[in-house]
Structure 1
């Protein structure tokens, strides 16, 4: 009895052995992006989909654009925001006071029932 794997000779993550026999590949087109550092990124996209305006450069991580002579500038790092800062963006002081009053009233009702 032979030992080992039944799928010997293939690697994990490999595709079908003969993709031409099993399916027709989707039509694709190459799209070229340029970053501010002069790197060129060529991406193969579906032919019937409009390309995104920017693509991340795999070499430097900066955004790359479709215009070779006018690439987008470097991305600006957003400062760290705490959870409280995000909550304050979504809610006003009056909303916060109303939520606090509601939570305190529910807590007092539970304590009164015990």
Structure 2
């Protein structure tokens, strides 16, 4: 008599586990309390993307300098930030980019100008 009870209990546990791993509820059914399924409309998604784009900054650093042979050289560096970056951070990235390019060209930078948007 103990063996059938054990099998019944095991099958009951497997049944409960398989129910929790089943497919999601159809669209017509309400979600149980405590679960949220927030969907955003395309207008809300585009407005969120626009909000993030408003805070993004792009910087262009244009530098002039001289090579070891005395010839003039110019380097342009680009930098950008996303949501939490300002112009100073974007221009810092752009200056690093310009410095790296100048090193590969053998150019010693003298003067740089920044444009940030």
TM-score, normalising length: structure 2: 0.31
* More strand, by proportion: 2
TM-score (norm: length of structure 1): 0.31
Select the structure that is richer in helix.
2
